[in-house]
Amino acid sequence: MNIIDKNQTRYHINVEVKTRYLSEQSRPGEQRYAFAYTITLHNKGELSAQLISRYWLITDADGGHQEVEGEGVVGEQPHIEPGRQFQYTSGVLLTTPVGVMEGHYVMQAKDGTIFNAEITPFRLSIPNIVQ
């Protein structure tokens, strides 16, 4: 098993994130703010790759941190062929109306190489709170 530099184009997963506030599942008076996030993983590399595990660092507006690690996403460990994508939606609860998530997916290419697909920090916020 080889571990490679993430900048190699042979192994490249682009991560796109879209978020939304779930007002119907939130209770601001109880410091409960629900958010959904939709992740699209685009395989821009030369080899198929399987998502093995995930790591999230979730930070709320008070500086509180949650770390989440585990196998796959939403109960799956998808194989993504070159030029294809995989999309899923999940959610998170915060105790503040604003937060940030970041992390990475551990991927394994068809040739056995392990690499990370970085998830750049993205903001979770209720509408119109942060400009």
Q: What is the pLDDT of residues 71-124, one digit of tens each?
A: 999 999 999 999 999 999 999 999 999 999 999 999 999 999 999 999 999 999
Residue type at 8? Q
Q: Sort 1 into a burial class: Cβ within 10 Å, 0-12 / 13-18 / 19+.
A: exposed
Pair 85, 99: CB distance under 8 Å: no
Q: What is the pTM of this model?
A: 0.88
Kindly state the tokens that stand for 111: 């040739």
State how far the Cα of 84 lies from the Cα of 78, in Å rounded to an integer: 11
